[in-house]
Amino acid sequence: MTQKTNAHDLSHLTVLVSGASIAGPALALNLARLGARVTVVEKAAELRGGGFAVDFRGHVHRSVLTAMGIWDEIHARQTHMGRQAVVDADGTPRVDLPAEMMSGDVEIFRGDLAQIMYERTKDSVEYVFGDSITSLTDTSQGMDVTFERGAPRRFDLVVGADGLHSNTRRLAFGDESRYLRFFDHYVAGFDIPNHLGLDRTGRVYSEPGRAVAIGNYDGDPERAGALLVFRSEQLTYDRRNVTAQKQILMDRFAGMGWEAPTVLKALEQADDLYFDAIAQIHVDRLTKGRVALLGDAGYGATMGGMGTGVAIVGAYVLAGELALAGGDFGTAFAEYETRIRDFAKGCQKISGNAGPFFAPPTERRIRSRDRMYRVLSSRPLARFFKKLTEKAATDIKLRDYPA
């Protein structure tokens, strides 16, 4: 009697994923359900919590998250963030920004989303924390991988889901400088005491070339998130040196009005500083041999480009194509490349506005931004604005992938 085999079963496939934030666990979740044996290596010592609130928009995000079985939990743990306001130096609101404009259909903390996917996969996926890939050697049998700490291993495929400054991309595709386009701004974020007593609302204050935003996303009476954005030439600094990054921010925001002095004071104590360039990743190809790039590693945009949604859709498509091709990675990678590239580029285009939105270069531009958003935030136009961002978020036709 012949045994009936499932053509989409991936149990013969071993996959190493680098990065356990959003793209990595999303791919692990999709692949593990198809039977693949997945290992996720993450440089941090444990799953990283916190981070910014990230949002989902439109039917494509929703149907992918539903197919992954996590829509309801995301919904249950959403922030319920309300309106935000652009304010004057004395805190008087100048423009009201509706929630659907800033926070999409559903918004959740990046750390909570990572946690949801990690919990769903931790029993079927091998997670290795506190380690990193040091070399990749493509052999005819598989990919030989060495690690900073662990013993060398062989995998059928390696996926770089390790962010804007991807280690996998550097090892397999070459130096970051070939792929990273700087967008004239830096962004920083960290938690501060909720000294304004905000309740699921936020404030943005801009001076030419710099902005401070404070938001309370989850109703926590004690805690708020601060976001600093400044316009700059490209800086050289050590990405591991937090003290140096704090100094850059102290210098750039010195003398700024509104709540900036209080925020800078809190920065001195912050132990969760995120600091990076607003930049985009543009690679010629998303795959090379047995290696694929996913999420920010392949098409990141720092902020304002729905990067989380793109990473989730990318993970779903990559896993789905591998299943349809029965694990034939040549076929699957080619399909992934074709299906994701334009979609990701469309979302990247929107993100180009993030820096100038927060920190217009002149007082005149600040005024014209305010005028424009005053018009856009009126009810009918807010709906139109939402449709505009949704257009990029839904500009992909998903195939019917095996469950």
Ligand X SMILES: Cc1cc2nc3c(=O)[nH]c(=O)nc-3n(C[C@H](O)[C@H](O)[C@H](O)COP(=O)(O)OP(=O)(O)OC[C@H]3O[C@@H](n4cnc5c(N)ncnc54)[C@H](O)[C@@H]3O)c2cc1C
Q: Note whether 272 and 279 are within 8 A (CB).
A: no
Stretch that binds ligand X, among 37-45, 149-157, 196-204, 247-255 (CB under 6 A): 37-45
19 binds ligand X (CB under 6 A): yes
- The CB-of-3 to ligand X minimum distance in angstroms stands at 38
* DSSP 8-state class, residue 151: P
48 binds ligand X (CB under 6 A): yes
Cβ neighbours for 134, distance < 8 A, ≥ 6 positions apart: 146, 147, 148
Residue nearest to ligand X (CB): 307
Binding track, positions 54-93, relative to ligand X; x by CB under 6 A: xx--------------------------------------
- The CB-of-166 to ligand X minimum distance in angstroms stands at 7
Instruction: Work out the angle between the directed axes of helices 242-253 and 260-269 (0-180°, nearest 10).
Output: 170
Identity at 393, one-letter amino acid code = A
386 binds ligand X (CB under 6 A): no
Q: Which of 345, 308, 288, 319 is nearest to 399 (CA)?
A: 319
- The CB-of-348 to ligand X minimum distance in angstroms stands at 11
Q: Strand, coil or helix: what is 225?
A: strand
52 binds ligand X (CB under 6 A): yes
**Of these, 215, 225, 309, 346, which contacts ligand X (CB under 6 A)?**
309
Handedness of CA 391, 27, 42, 224 (dihedral sign): positive
Give, as ranges, the residues between 115 and 144 that touch ligand X (CB under 6 A): 132
Q: Strand, coil or helix: what is 303?
A: coil
Stretch that binds ligand X, among 48-56, 117-125, 242-250, 372-380 (CB under 6 A): 48-56
Binding track, positions 147-186, relative to ligand X; x by CB under 6 A: --------------xxx---x-------------------
- The CB-of-131 to ligand X minimum distance in angstroms stands at 7
Stretch that binds ligand X, among 89-97, 207-215, 258-266, 296-304 (CB under 6 A): 296-304
Q: How many residues bind ligand X (CB under 6 A)?
A: 34
Q: Note whether 185 and 201 are within 8 A (CB).
A: no
302 binds ligand X (CB under 6 A): yes
23 binds ligand X (CB under 6 A): yes
Comparing CB distances to ligand X, the nearer of 18 and 377 is: 18
189 binds ligand X (CB under 6 A): yes
User: What's the length of the chain?
Assistant: 403
Distance CA 6, CA 4 (A): 7
Q: Which of 277, 274, 262 is nearest to 214 (CA)?
A: 262
Q: What would the DSSP string read from start to end of 314-378?
A: HHHHHHHHHHHTTT-HHHHHHHHHHHHHHHHHHHHHHHTTHHHHHS-SSHHHHHHHHHHHHHHTS
Q: Give contact residues for ligand X (rule: CB under 6 A).
A: 18-24, 41-44, 48, 52, 54-55, 110, 132, 161-163, 167, 187, 189, 295-297, 300, 302-303, 306-309, 311
